[in-house]
Chains A and B, each alone.
Chain A
Amino acid sequence: MKITAIAGLYALTLFHPDIALAADSVVHSDPVSSTHNTTRLAQINSARPATDVDVAPQLVQSIADKVKPALVRIHVVESNTAGGREVRSEGFGSGVIITPDGYAVTNHHVAGDATWVSVTLSNKEIVDAKLIGADPLSDLAIIKLEPREDGQPYPVAQWGDSDSLRVGETVLAMGSPFAFSQSVTAGIVSNTELIMPDNDDFTLAGEQVGSIVRWIGHDAPIHPGNSGGPLVNLRGEIIGINEISMGLSGAIPGNLAREVSTQIISKGHVTRSYTGLDLQPRLRSDAHTSGALVGGVLPNSPAQKAGVKPGDLLLSINGEALDVRFPEQIPLANLQMARLPLSEATTLEIERGGEKMTLSMQARLRDAVMSPDREIKGLGLTGMDITAPIALEYKYPNTDGVVVTTVQDGGPAGSAKPAIEEGDVILAVREKPVKNLAELRAVIGQISRKEGGTPTLVEVRRRGERVLTVANVNPESTEDASVEVAKAYLPISTQVVTEELVQALKLPTGTQGVRITQVHPGSAASGAGLRVGDVIVKLDGLEVEASQEEDTDIFPAMIRQYKIGSWAKVALLRRENGKWQSKQIGIKLPQAPKTERELASYRDTNFGVTMRSVTYTDRLKQDANPGEDGALITGVDEGSWAALGGLENGDIIHRVNGIAVNNMEEARIQLRLLEKQKPRRVVFFVARGVRTLFVELQTDWGQSK
């Protein structure tokens, strides 16, 4: 019975590691001390609510049942910039619904750049959603689910009080790791004031997340995909939003998440104050017992205007004493300053050179550090507006211009003379100033499109210099339509007859040539009577001098000397009745099939898919089944509707919304017809290898561009 009790205690440790400590003392105790340890276990248990200990597995189940309905698995398509273009990519994360009308909180790095959002509820229901607002400084974002068709409210999770968390408290991490359906892991709070190690910044959209966030460190395992999911206590209340994993897991405190969520829901963004103060912990040599060291005062900031100087000891803000002795206290001080009122002056008490003084500071609205960067089509680059913080950081004279963030190699900017580079600030086009992205896009849009582009004067600021360049803007896109030299070919596949094969096949000694490995069905070769296994030794009397693997190209090259449509006489050896017999076969040589590049293709921009007709070669290479026709998909754009719906390269489209398509052109006609009708969803019937399936795609028909 003792062994059974011990085993039971260890099982519980999966959910309540504290018990493991007590179990160890029971296992290793002697008969005398076991009584003492049993008493101690009872004392430990009595200090906790009965639910923590007695019904841990059932408690986890009940918490999961309570919170799960509010959990969402989030699927996004987001837009990023790279190589001078906006590129789309898919991502997955987690979130939790916090209002009955469908507002859900998640991380900024999950949905903050989303152009399309879809969520899956715990009952497997899929609901579209949209991004309401995001706050990179706290790495939080709010999405809103579309109203339910039955009008019912969404289940919600309740907020708890993250300030009351204590180390050792049991917590559960809920979410969708690896985009799996919702899951739960358990652990304890390891640290309630987790900060980043020295020199290890976590930056998001130019914001240092650790400047105001002290994470709740815990050891409930979280994995990619858990981001944005709730960390809940044993009452099923949200006390954190899971965000990072660095050995320990880290969650944004629930109280901060609640504050940010409320602001984004009500006005779409977060309002914070800006002071221009850089605070540090007091130096170790500093004997003061309170206050925060002013490490820096940014130029033209409210703090500078108020007269604060580096080296001052900031003692209180609006009468509230400040104590920053350790790095863990900095985020709280920063939060305090971020919450200062904008409409009234703030009183600062400082100590300078041993003397105390009071200063009055008028905080102002904090700007976002970075604005979104966007593609400037026609110029082959991406750029962003200059914010006040960026101008300050990079010592720009003002916020006029557009900062170049990425450049397309070979595009108009990349091939300008001199080339426009990342980090350049575009100041003028055709000698007219451009103050921001909108103006730059407008002026580029007015320049005519032509082959090769229109030479356009552009002025940029580069490390303090004003440089002029000429870019060929708005080049007409051209397709590479170069053709391959037309060659004759023999519709067979061959292998070289090596000396080893000569011996193994008992061919006449000294035989050189090629063995037929495949005869293309329905071709001139099959019509002429060539067979797999035949050994071709001569071509119009010329010996096929192939005897080593390196000679693979000799026979095809001999064929390519012929003109298309000419006759060639093939001398071969064929095994009949166990003996090799000589034969001669004449064959008319057709034109070699087109290469992949030469084949006509069609790219549908609504779904982001490229296709061409199935060809004879596809069937030969078994990329298509014998006799199969249809439109073969050769490209699926990442983040496109086709990718989201699950279409894949190599799929062969047979039907579009029930209409049969036998080739690319027929598929193109159907898709163009659907573009007029604009149905919400389109169903493709495709072949994937030997299997077939229905793929349902949705598209907004270009509205989100």
Chain B
Amino acid sequence: MRPYEKQLFIMKHFFRVLTLALLCALSIPRAAQADAQGNMLRALSQKYGSSVVTLQLVIKSSMGGESNQAQLEADGLLIDPSGLVVTTNSAIDPAALYASAMGEEAMGRIAFSVVSAKIRLSNGQEIPARVVLRDRDRNVAFVRPLKKPTQTLTFVNFKGKTTGQLGDSVYILGRLGKAASRVAEANTMRIIGVVDKPRRFYVLEPMAYYYTGNVAFAENGQPLGLITIKAGRGSMSSSDSILATIIPAADVWEVALQAPQANAVKSSTPAAKPAAKPAAKPTPKTKP
């Protein structure tokens, strides 16, 4: 190739080469970023994945004299070494969410109660448990094993005061269902709103409602809070009436401190007393 032809070649292809180089340069941060998110998800899953448990509940609904019961599963999170699990109150009391949207009167006298509860650990072990505390305002409920487990449990410490801001990504740990052999799942979502009154909570992208009962971590890998759903007052059918939200970890822990032991939770309904039986009459002695 003659010199001027060489220059011509370089000039002709210069912009193509330059464009290619620029594209490569720009994609490197994105790939790196995606990789960073993946790394964080994997790290959190490895560290905390087994703290995500499945609650197996039998719920009874009663209205008037009729009652029905149904089995259901809900996601929960171990938050202390004794096996205390936090979940959403709406998972165990479907009426509560409806009532908060439509008012107590809309529910009439229908009532939901938990007939039985089990905590299914990540290794498949099922531990009999009991619902011990509910907070309708924050839409959280606490379940405690009937007997303290002997094994060491992985839990997420909710005592910290990590905060987030609009636009932050959060890392979510959950657990897939039976169809996926209940393996741990991990995903990211964004905070699309921050509400400060009357107390702070974070609003997530709408699809995050799927992760109700799961834990959300902030961008620094610290627990941000529990994903719940919040119903706005008014029709349940409007698109913005149900929000996926994060209740800050500190708020959850504040309520958890009130959770009694499982055997301390006693029914306020008086137990049926056995009917009194008359004392046996003394047998008269026969005379010799």
Contact = CB atoms under 8 A, between A and B. Distances in A.
Given A475-B116, A545-B197, A602-B270, A484 B135 contact: yes
B108 to A, nearest CB: 10
A149 to B, nearest CB: 32
A414 B69 CA distance: 11
Interface in A656-701: 665, 668, 672, 675-676
Interface in B237-288: 255, 258, 260, 265-270, 273, 275
Contacts of B113: 479-480, 597
Nearest to B100: A553
Contact of B268 (A478, A599, A636, A672): A599
Interface stretch (A229-237, A313-321, A405-413): A405-413
Interface string B150-168: 0000000000000000000
A411 B69 contact: yes
B267 A479 contact: yes
A586 interface: no
Contacts of A552: 233
B65 A643 contact: yes
B233 A481 contact: no
A115 interface: no
A355 B238 CA distance: 78
Interface in A543-570: 545, 549-550, 552-554, 557-558, 560-561
Contacts, number: 122
A409 B70 contact: yes
A602 B146 CA distance: 25
B137 interface: yes
Nearest to B136: A484
Interface stretch (B1-9, B35-43, B126-134, B202-210): B126-134
On chain B, which size bracket covers the interface?
35 or more
A338 to B, nearest CB: 41
B54 to A, nearest CB: 14
Contact of A600 (B70, B116, B132, B268): B268
Given A411-B69, A545-B197, A635-B62, A482 B141 contact: yes
Contacts of B146: 451
Nearest to A552: B233
Nearest to B71: A410
Given A451-B146, A485-B133, A599-B268, A557 B199 contact: yes
B69 A409 contact: yes
Interface in A409-429: 409-411, 414-415
Q: Is the interface of A mostly helix, strand, loop or mixed?
A: loop
A636 B64 contact: yes
B270 A482 contact: no
Contacts of B65: 608-610, 635-638, 640, 643, 649
B193 interface: no
Nearest to A673: B275
A626 interface: no
A596 B110 CA distance: 10
A415 B71 contact: yes
Interface string A227-247: 000000000000000000000
Given A452-B116, A475-B116, A415 B131 contact: no
Contact of B260 (A451, A483, A602, A609): A483
B66 A638 contact: yes
Nearest to A649: B64
B141 A408 contact: no
Contacts of A598: 268
Nearest to A554: B198
A411 B234 CA distance: 36
A487 interface: yes
A415 B128 CA distance: 14
B115 interface: yes
Contact of A482 (B68, B69, B234, B265): B265
Interface in B179-198: 197-198
A493 B232 CA distance: 19
B74 interface: no
A334 to B, nearest CB: 41
Nearest to B240: A550
A122 interface: no
On chain A, which size bracket covers the interface?
35 or more
A601 interface: yes
Contacts of B260: 483
Contact of A483 (B59, B134, B269, B275): B134
Contacts of A668: 270
Contact of B255 (A408, A477, A485): A485
Given A549-B233, A552-B233, A482 B130 contact: yes
Interface in A451-499: 451-452, 475, 477-487
Nearest to A639: B65
Given A415-B58, A452-B128, A483 B233 contact: no
Contacts of A558: 198
Contacts of A600: 268-270
Interface in B55-92: 56, 58-60, 62, 64-66, 68-71
A518 interface: no
A281 interface: no
A479 B269 contact: yes
A484 B65 CA distance: 24
Given A482-B130, A483-B133, A675-B275, A408 B265 contact: no
Contact of B233 (A550, A596, A676): A550
A601 B265 contact: no
A478 B198 contact: no
B218 interface: no
B69 A554 contact: no
Nearest to A408: B69
B266 to A, nearest CB: 6
B168 to A, nearest CB: 24
A59 B185 CA distance: 82
B134 A482 contact: yes
A645 interface: no
B111 interface: yes
A25 interface: no
A643 B65 CA distance: 9
Contacts of A640: 65
A414 B71 contact: yes
A640 B136 CA distance: 34
Contacts of B121: none
A598 B111 CA distance: 11
A481 B113 CA distance: 9
Contact of B134 (A83, A485, A635, A643): A485
Given A451-B146, A452-B128, A557-B199, A482 B133 contact: yes
A204 B50 CA distance: 54
Contact of A481 (B109, B128, B232, B266): B266
Given A410-B58, A550-B232, A557 B137 contact: yes
Interface in A584-605: 595-602
B115 A410 contact: yes
A126 B11 CA distance: 111
Nearest to A88: B65
A477 B269 CA distance: 13
Nearest to A597: B111
Highest count of chain B CB atoms <10 Å: which of A410, A549, A675: A410
A663 B236 CA distance: 37
Interface of B: 56, 58-60, 62, 64-66, 68-71, 109, 111, 113-116, 128, 130-137, 141, 146, 197-199, 232-234, 255, 258, 260, 265-270, 273, 275
Closest 4 CB pairs of A and B: A410-B58, A480-B113, A557-B198, A637-B65
14 contacts: A410-B59, A410-B71, A451-B128, A478-B115, A478-B130, A481-B266, A484-B134, A550-B233, A553-B198, A557-B198, A597-B113, A601-B269, A635-B64, A637-B65
Given A409-B70, A478-B115, 15 more contacts: A410-B59, A451-B146, A479-B269, A480-B113, A482-B130, A482-B132, A485-B258, A557-B198, A596-B111, A598-B268, A600-B268, A600-B270, A636-B64, A649-B64, A675-B275
